[in-house]
């Protein structure tokens, strides 16, 4: 089917001369210079992007498919982003996950891109591809493979050693992206070489040879072009200095963008908004750096991340909440932004050790779509209101930014007003905000608006306008509603549409208790005030002068409807009621199909939790979506005027006309009934996962730490390198064994260990526990820790062979460099000393995941496993050889001493068809002061790292596709006690999140290879 669609699309474009020139009505568009083979596909000028001949506001959400390793759910995320009113998704590819073995690039299984592009096309989402090679993204090593940490050449430079290391990846990913470009029928409209390259230390360092970094940037650009990419290349300049902008010289890109995170990352104090980094004067800088391209923000803060010892993700949503969306996003519109990407819109999970040292297992990010895929955040609804407004405001697409001023348009200088003026249309957009953008005060004001009818002081019918606490408004003047001139409007516009009969439906909203007013110019409206009517009262309607019909009302939860004959219907809503409205596009003929377009028809529906798709079949409207409760559904607008029947998720509804003449029905929700496992009652099997401290353990197959030198920029403090990356171990836990022959005089052991924020470690002399470092979180802990362990009383007999064992929790490498190439900072044992002995008297061996860079589990990738015995054996996978293992439970029994226990069990699920029920594994944590760590494996996938003494995360969502909702599942837990007295789990449960009767497409299972005996285990 996909091949047929692509073939049809190619034929269509050939017949159409590479696309139609469709323009929004009323807009005279300046001529646009075509870009080679992109003509008719992707073009741009200084105002905005033009896709297939139509000007569009590119509203994009960041979504990383590898953070949701269930490809069958990618369509679900795309549909939820499309339901926001967005039309694009930006995504990174993660080099480190696909080339864990040097020279072998594996875009396979959950790492393949074909299904991602296919799902985007089905949902109608354009793609901005960002393949790196560096991505940052709170990933270990910023997305580089672990093995790049040991090459001598500086990363992200033009040294041949590094450049050559990127070639295979760049060629492979470049070809995959090229094959999905819009020019060949795919969704990709833009590509980004490199990422935030201006922030890397050394970019402007005069110590580097001339053209050092420009040569590299140019090379990355050419890699993508050589692979066949013809869509425009863009850059995101984090410093906003014009780096790599068009006309800047070697390395310049075609589209210049910036990124910004003005709310910063203090999720622990979400009510405190920072007073630094407020976006201002951006339009002036844009005119300076890139005047011939649209204003483009490639990353704007959509949330924030968390780390061990911090606060949970909901606190990050509280920091970057719906108020920040209203204030900061609308401030951006004041700069006439035309391409806008929100980082993140869906975050996902740092499963399988893919995150950097400062993060925990969750990458929910406080984003509009939660980690469990729910949209139940007010921020999601606020974003939906704003994005939909710009889909019906074509005058904005060629508008230019003005300067924000205090008191110029309002009766108080407590407010700042920024005008955005249409260049070929009388429409103006006025962005209103408080001068102190962090203020929680309430300010009343009058607004003086220049209009086509002259200056008007608003409100005209008495009273005052109001701006409450952290809020911002978009007031419009001379706004075209399908040929009717909205002379001014202080309420905000959600959407409008015009049906086949010529009737316009306009949806306005405001905050509770606010006074709002709009005026209609009746001069050319083909109707008179005599036909005006207001339903459900509570508003003023008055003619002002001879041609201005003014309507004023105070916002309340009750919906009001104003009608102007059969020409116009205006719905007057409370903002929270507007949240329940959905604007859903109807499919169009190829090549537009499901992609957003100003020329497409829409339906407006009220009621459900989510509306995914809509299609007209004669007189029947077929909807798909989700509900979480019994609710009324109402068809607010449809373009034909003929719909008299509605179905939802394939089920016909008993639809009738309500008192407003709208077709409505009742959607009945029945919660699903299914059983969940009781982990405290299940039969678990147990095996010791730290046999390395036993006298009988043989480590002859381990790597000997014999490298006398290192390429790492951090100089060695030991006779040979103990840096884990030097021996091919880059993720998960690490185990060192130090062999020495005792003299009997050894009094203490010094260790300097590094493992990332929140890491911990334990040390043993033979099978005697010496002690542990139980970690410190992001609030004050370091990623490095030094300690001296006393060996007094250990009876170290002269001449006896002794072994030191050090188990380290590897939390991931850093994501960016505080100094040139400091991202390579080593993890593991950095220094040691055995009192009374030379360092060289200790011979160290090391293990991490089995095989290191020659990792065994290709399906789950190079970072999913660590050094623990059970992981090296593959026992965390389904069907381990547990028949002879002891029956023991992590909840009932636990572990009696410092060490590591491994537990596994199975359970079945049978979630009823048609229901989307996110499920989370939840660790109880009521034991004060308990120092233990767990890894959670679900069907072999490491989906959580629980640190009992640090937190904050106790809830670990696992997506369907990893978790089998209709079959047998294997769950495994590693329990590492850092205390001498051992530990056990306070509790572990599988808990349902809010269930949905859903029109989602049930995902298939991600690869779940079962246990097989591995070659070379030890």
Residues that are catalytic: 196, 299
Say if strands 987-992 and 919-924 run parallel, antiparallel, or are unpaired.
antiparallel
**Counting Cβ atoms within 10 Å, is residue 408 exposed (0-12), middle (13-18) or buried (19+)?**
middle
Identify whether the C-beta of residue 988 lies closer than 8 Å to the C-beta of residue 891: yes
- Spatial separation of the C-alpha atoms in residues 813 and 355, rounded to whole Å: 8
* Tokens matching residue 437: 């953008």
- Spatial separation of the C-alpha atoms in residues 67 and 78, rounded to whole Å: 14
Identify the CA nearest to 478 among candidates 509, 454, 504, 458.
454
- Spatial separation of the C-alpha atoms in residues 239 and 252, rounded to whole Å: 16
- Spatial separation of the C-alpha atoms in residues 319 and 301, rounded to whole Å: 11
- Spatial separation of the C-alpha atoms in residues 285 and 270, rounded to whole Å: 30
Residue 908: its H or E element? strand 899-910
- Spatial separation of the C-alpha atoms in residues 459 and 895, rounded to whole Å: 72
* Tokens matching residue 830: 């950095």
For residue 812, give the 3-state DSSP assignment.
Answer: coil
Rg, C-alpha atoms of the chain: 31
Identify whether the C-beta of residue 488 lies closer than 8 Å to the C-beta of residue 451: yes
Residue whose tokens read 């994005």: 387
Identify the CA nearest to 723 among candidates 846, 837, 806.
846
- Spatial separation of the C-alpha atoms in residues 629 and 647, rounded to whole Å: 17
- Spatial separation of the C-alpha atoms in residues 210 and 765, rounded to whole Å: 53
- Helix residue ranges per DSSP H, 179-272: 212-226
Cis peptide before 344 (omega within 30 of 0): yes
Residues with Cβ within 8 Å of residue 362, at least 6 apart in sequence: 306, 313, 347, 349, 350, 371, 953, 956, 957
Residue whose tokens read 């103006």: 428
Question: What separation in angstroms does the CA of 482 have from each of 425, 498, 957?
Answer: 13, 6, 46
Residues with Cβ within 8 Å of residue 990, at least 6 apart in sequence: 676, 677, 679, 907, 919, 920, 921, 922
Residue 768: its H or E element? strand 768-773
What are the residues facing 553 on neighbouring strands? Answer: 516, 539
For residue 273, give the 3-state DSSP assignment.
Answer: coil
Residue 71: its H or E element? none
- Spatial separation of the C-alpha atoms in residues 589 and 217, rounded to whole Å: 40
- Spatial separation of the C-alpha atoms in residues 898 and 805, rounded to whole Å: 13
The conformation of residue 655, written as its DSSP 8-state character, comes to -
Identify the CA nearest to 565 among candidates 523, 518, 503.
503
- Spatial separation of the C-alpha atoms in residues 63 and 90, rounded to whole Å: 6
The sign one gets for the Cα dihedral 694, 699, 703, 706 is: positive
Residue 8: its H or E element? helix 2-15
Identify whether the C-beta of residue 555 lies closer than 8 Å to the C-beta of residue 512: yes
* HSE-up (13 A, CA, CB side) for residue 527: 20
């Amino acid at each position: 089917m996909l091949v047929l669609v692509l073939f049809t699309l190619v034929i269509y474009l050939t017949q159409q001369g590479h696309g139609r020139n469709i323009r929004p009505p009323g807009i005279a568009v300046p001529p646009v210079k075509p870009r080679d083979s992109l003509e008719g596909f992707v073009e741009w000028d200084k105002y905005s992007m033009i896709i297939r001949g139509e000007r569009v506001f590119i509203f994009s959400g960041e979504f990383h498919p590898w953070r949701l390793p269930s490809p069958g759910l990618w369509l679900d995320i795309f549909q939820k982003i499309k339901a926001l009113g967005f039309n694009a998704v930006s995504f990174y590819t993660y080099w480190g996950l696909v080339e864990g073995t040097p020279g072998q690039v594996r875009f396979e299984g959950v790492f393949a891109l074909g299904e991602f592009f296919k799902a985007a096309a089905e949902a109608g989402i354009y793609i901005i591809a960002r393949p790196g090679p560096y991505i940052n993204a709170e990933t270990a090593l910023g997305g580089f493979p672990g093995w790049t940490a040991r090459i001598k050449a500086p990363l992200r430079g033009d040294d041949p050693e590094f450049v050559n290391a990127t070639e295979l990846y760049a060629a492979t990913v470049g070809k995959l992206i090229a094959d999905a470009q819009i020019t060949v029928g795919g969704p990709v409209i833009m590509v980004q070489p490199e990422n935030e390259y201006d922030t890397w230390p050394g970019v402007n360092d005069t110590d580097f040879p001339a053209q050092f970094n420009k040569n590299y940037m140019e090379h990355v650009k050419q890699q993508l072009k050589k692979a066949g990419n013809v869509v425009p290349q863009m850059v995101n300049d984090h410093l906003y200095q014009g780096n790599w902008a068009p006309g800047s010289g070697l390395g310049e890109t075609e589209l210049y963008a910036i990124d910004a995170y003005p709310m910063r990352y203090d999720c622990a104090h979400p009510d405190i908004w920072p007073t630094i980094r407020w976006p201002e004067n951006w339009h002036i800088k844009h005119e300076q750096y890139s005047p011939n391209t649209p204003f483009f923000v490639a990353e704007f803060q959509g949330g924030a991340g968390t780390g061990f010892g911090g606060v949970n993700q909901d606190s990050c949503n509280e920091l970057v909440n719906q108020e920040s969306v209203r204030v900061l996003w609308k401030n951006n519109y004041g700069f006439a932004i035309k391409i806008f990407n929100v980082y993140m819109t869906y975050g996902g999970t740092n499963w399988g050790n893919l995150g950097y040292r400062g993060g925990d297992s969750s990458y929910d990010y406080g984003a509009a779509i939660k980690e469990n895929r729910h949209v139940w955040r007010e921020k999601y609804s606020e974003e939906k209101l704003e994005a939909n407004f710009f889909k019906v405001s074509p005058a904005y697409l060629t508008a230019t930014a003005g300067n924000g001023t205090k008191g110029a348009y309002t009766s108080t200088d407590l407010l700042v007003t920024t005008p955005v003026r249409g260049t070929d249309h009388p429409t103006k957009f006025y962005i209103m905000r408080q001068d102190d953008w962090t203020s929680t005060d309430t300010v009343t004001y009058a607004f003086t608006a220049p209009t086509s009818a002259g200056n008007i002081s608003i409100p005209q019918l008495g009273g005052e306008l109001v701006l409450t606490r952290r809020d911002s408004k978009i007031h419009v003047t001379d706004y075209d509603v399908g040929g009717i001139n909205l002379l001014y409007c202080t309420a905000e516009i959600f959407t409008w549409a015009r049906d086949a009969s010529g009737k316009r439906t306009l949806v306005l909203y405001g905050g509770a208790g606010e006074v709002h007013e709009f005026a209609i110019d009746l001069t050319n409206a083909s109707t008179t005030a005599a036909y005006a009517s207001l339903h459900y009262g509570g508003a003023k309607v008055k003619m002002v002068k001879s041609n201005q019909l003014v309507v004023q009302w105070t916002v309340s939860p009750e919906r009001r409807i104003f009608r102007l004959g059969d020409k116009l219907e205006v719905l007057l809503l409370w903002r929270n009621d507007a949240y329940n409205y959905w604007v859903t596009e109807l499919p169009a003929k190829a090549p537009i199909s499901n992609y957003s377009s100003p020329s497409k028809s829409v339906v407006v529906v009220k009621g459900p939790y989510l509306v995914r798709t809509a299609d007209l079949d004669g007189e029947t409207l077929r909807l798909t979506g989700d509900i979480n409760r019994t609710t009324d559904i109402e068809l607010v607008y449809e373009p034909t005027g003929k719909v008299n029947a509605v179905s939802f998720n394939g089920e016909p509804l008993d639809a009738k006309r309500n008192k407003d003449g709208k077709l409505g029905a009742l959607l009945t929700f029945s919660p699903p009934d299914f059983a969940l496992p009781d982990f405290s009652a299940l039969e678990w099997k147990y095996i010791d996962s730290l046999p390395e401290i036993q006298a009988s353990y043989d480590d002859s197959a381990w790597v000997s730490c014999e490298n006398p030198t290192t390429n790492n920029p951090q100089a060695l403090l030991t006779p040979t390198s103990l840096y884990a990356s030097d021996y091919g171990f880059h993720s998960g836990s690490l185990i060192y064994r130090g062999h020495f022959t005792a003299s009997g005089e050894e009094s203490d052991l010094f260790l300097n260990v590094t493992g990332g924020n929140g890491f911990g470690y334990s040390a043993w002399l033979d099978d005697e526990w010496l002690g542990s470092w139980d970690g410190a979180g992001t609030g004050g802990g370091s990623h490095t820790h030094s300690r001296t362990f006393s060996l007094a009383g250990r009876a170290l007999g002269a001449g006896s062979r002794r072994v030191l064992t050090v188990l380290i929790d590897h939390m991931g490498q850093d994501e960016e460099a505080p100094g040139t190439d400091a991202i390579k900072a080593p993890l593991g044992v950095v220094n040691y000393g055995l009192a009374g002995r030379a360092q060289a008297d200790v011979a160290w061996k090391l293990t991490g995941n089995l095989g290191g860079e020659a990792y065994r589990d290709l399906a789950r990738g190079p970072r999913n496993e660590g050094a623990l015995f059970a992981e090296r054996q593959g026992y965390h996978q389904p069907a381990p050889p547990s028949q002879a293992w002891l029956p023991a439970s992590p909840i009932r029994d636990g572990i009696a001493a410092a060490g590591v226990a491994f537990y596994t069990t199975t359970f079945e699920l049978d979630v009823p068809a048609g229901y989307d029920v996110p499920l989370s594994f939840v660790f109880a944590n009521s034991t004060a002061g308990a120092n233990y760590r767990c890894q959670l494996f679900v069907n072999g996938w490491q989906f959580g790292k629980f640190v009992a003494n640090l937190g904050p995360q106790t809830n670990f969502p696992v997506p369907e596709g990893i978790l089998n909702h209709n079959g047998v599942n294997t769950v495994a837990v590693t329990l590492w006690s850092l205390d001498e007295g051992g530990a056990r789990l306070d509790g572990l449960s599988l808990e349902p999140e809010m269930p949905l009767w859903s029109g989602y497409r049930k995902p298939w299972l991600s690869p779940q290879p079962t246990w097989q005996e591995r070659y070379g285990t030890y």
